[in-house]
Amino acid sequence: MITILRAAVCAALFLFQGVQYAAAQDVALTSRDGKIELSGTLLGFDGVFYRIETEYGELTIDGTGVDCAGPGCPNLENFVAELWLSGSATMGKILMPALIDAFATRNGYHATRQDEDENRFTFVLVDQKSNKTIARFMFRASNTDEGFADLLADEADIVMSLREMRPDERQRAREAGLGDMTGLNRSRVLALDAVVPVVSASNPVRGISPLMLAQVFAGKITNWNVLGGPDAPIDLHLPDDSSGLAQAIADQVLRPSGLELSKAVTRHPFPADLAKAVAKDPFAIGITSYAERRNMAILTLTGTCGFSLDVSRRAIKTEDYPLTAPMFLYFPARRLPQAAREFLAFTRSPTAQIVIRRAGFVDQTPEEIPVEDQGNRFTNAITVAGADITLEELQRMTATLKPMARLSTSFRFEAGSARLDAQSRSNVQQLARALEVGQYDARRLLFVGFSDGDGAADANREIALRRAEAVRRAVITAAVTVNLERVVLDVDAFGEAMPMACDDSAWGRQANRRVEVWVR
């Protein structure tokens, strides 16, 4: 009885989902001695715990201490875990099926796909030895907006999103009892992508500055001759405005410039439609994801200082390319069935990272990049060095970093904030796990802070050093079981000495404010 009462008190901390939402039915849970009974509508069962809606509110009960009666009671002997996923079609139709197939293969399951319609389908996992159904993963692959709407309506366990959750959505989730969706265990970056400007291969233009890109899609620049192309009007193409990708484009391309999107934009419900329209029109420009670039030409991001930023898998992983677009999974504060928890754990594994890469997306496996493979970074540092960056400081930076390799794991901050951005928060967890398993034992990791060029060089270096120290602390805090006697974690900073982009735009300054990790 005490156990049941405690479970009721702690109901807000553990919420569960295990049965199909449309099948919620009445149940009565009775303690083994028959002295306490709770009745209500079964909202979920994860194989151990019941989640029911009662006259006292939503409660969670440990199934080992009660008997269940009523039409909603699950089959305890042949329990089948059920998980509802809703949101991004790109993730739901391409990435998640590949991961589920790999997860099933690793665990000795057979995965069968059952299609309901174009956007709704189910993966059924069957144990090959016992021939028992283990789990059903049910998908609604539409767009990010609908994914969050389903979550708030208690019609999804996991949201697949191509953007971060909006503040108003987080507030509504908190009010709905779903917990703080910004917490470490409420979301994760599954894979990485980027927002890229694309044109037809027959278009002679091959570069554009981030500001001009924003001006083009705001309707401020309407002719290709302004961009060095032919005297012809520019046709604009974007994904459907309800997609997370379109919202990420608005956040990363238009919002930093304070511009509004032109009304003369052709929207496309599917990336393939956008690619087809742009590829056949020499006067078209579109913005899409790196994974959906297909046979279009990607424009290089340029700047007035002579720096250019080309997109690549490595540049996305390091966030050296400024328009990155992490792919998120969001889940509320409820306990998922064991099969679902095992699948989520699998998505962080080295095997899953290979699957992500083969599916055309960018994985999060840390890579060591030797100095000789880092392009013209040191040359650029010398080229743009001003009066504030002394030869002595450049020599110190070169002497410090040249014997080391740069990890692809970088850390950047939200605009105007000391808070790490979403990809960097995920990187903290990734690096912490690597430290915990001893991946860098007997090695030295150096957290190196860099800044933009606004302000005095000494002040910028001090700010960069504080950021490096903050990242180091965050990683140590996350690496609960790491043995700090087996690895050296140091910090240093070189301020504005090695810019990645021009400081003439918000995009460039954002790219320059970073903490890199170097290893020896």
Q: Are strands 368-370 and 334-335 parallel, antiparallel or unpaired?
A: unpaired
DSSP per residue over 150-213, as a string? HHHTT--SEEEESSPPPHHHHHHHHHTT---TTSTTTEEEEEB-BEEEEE-TT----EE-HHHH
The tokens 């990420």 sit on which residue?
Answer: 248
Contact of 492 with 461, CB cutoff 8 Å: no
Classify 30 as helix, strand or coil.
strand
Contact of 143 with 70, CB cutoff 8 Å: no
DSSP per residue over 254-300, as a string? IGGGT----S-EEEESSHHHHHHHHHT-TTEEEEEEGGG-TTSEEPE
Q: What whole-number distance in Å separates Cα of residue 507 and Cα of residue 209?
A: 10
Q: What whole-number distance in Å separates Cα of residue 206 and Cα of residue 301?
A: 9
Convert the pLDDT of each residue in 211-259 to its tens digit. Answer: 999 999 999 999 999 999 999 999 999 999 888 889 889 988 998 889 9
User: What separation, in Å, do the N-terminal and C-terminal C-alpha atoms of the chain show?
Assistant: 58
pLDDT value at residue 180: 83
Burial environment of residue 137 by CB neighbours within 10 A (0 to 12, 13 to 18, 19 or more): buried
Sign of torsion, CA 410 413 418 422?
A: negative
Q: Where do the H-state alpha helices sit in 18-165?
A: 89-90, 96-106, 144-152
The tokens 């080309």 sit on which residue?
Answer: 310
The DSSP 8-state label assigned to residue 337 in this structure reads P
Q: What whole-number distance in Å separates Cα of residue 217 and Cα of residue 231?
A: 18
- Within a 10 A sphere around the Cβ of 202, how many other Cβ atoms? 11
Classify 323 as helix, strand or coil.
coil
Classify 381 as helix, strand or coil.
helix
**Contacts by 51-57, CB closer than 8 A, 24 or more apart:** 51/15, 51/16, 51/17, 51/334, 52/27, 56/8, 57/11
Cα→Cα distances 406→310, 318, 382, 444, 462, Å:
19, 10, 19, 12, 21
Cα→Cα distances 113→93, 100, 323, 338, 419, Å:
11, 10, 34, 21, 41
Sign of torsion, CA 350 356 360 364?
A: negative
Task: Enumerate residue ranges in the chain where pLDDT < 70.
Answer: 1-24, 416
- Within a 10 A sphere around the Cβ of 62, how many other Cβ atoms? 15
Structure token digits, residue 165: 């959750």
The values of phi and psi at residue 66, to 5°, are: -140, 160
pLDDT value at residue 72: 82
pLDDT value at residue 304: 77
Structure token digits, residue 497: 């000495």
Q: Are strands 158-161 and 327-330 parallel, antiparallel or unpaired?
A: antiparallel
Q: Which residues contact 62 (CB under 8 A, 6 or more apart)?
A: 3, 4, 7, 48, 49
Which residues sit opposite 109 in a β-bridge? 127
Contact of 507 with 255, CB cutoff 8 Å: no
pTM of the model: 0.81
pLDDT value at residue 201: 95
Q: What whole-number distance in Å separates Cα of residue 316 and Cα of residue 319?
A: 5
